[in-house]
Amino acid sequence: GDKIMIRNISLAYFDSKLPQKYLQPIYVFEGDDNSNREFIAYIPALQNNIYEQE
């Protein structure tokens, strides 16, 4: 299979087009594969149950 080289990891906030009650922190993984195709993944930085404590 294809291998991906992660070249940058950063912390950001998810910006939805729909209104949100809270800003959601996410990890952003950026890199490329062996064909130089760009790869970007967004992963939640908090566990889901943290929003359920209200």
* Torsion sign (Cα): 28, 34, 35, 36: positive
DSSP 1-54: ---EEEEEEEEEEE--SS--SS-EEEEEEEEEETT--EEEEEEESS-GGGGGG-
C-alpha span between 13 and 42 (Å, rounded) = 10
Q: Is the pLDDT of residue 1 over 80?
A: no
- Tens of pLDDT along 7-53? 999 999 998 899 988 889 999 999 999 888 999 999 999 887 665 65
Q: What is the pTM of this model?
A: 0.75
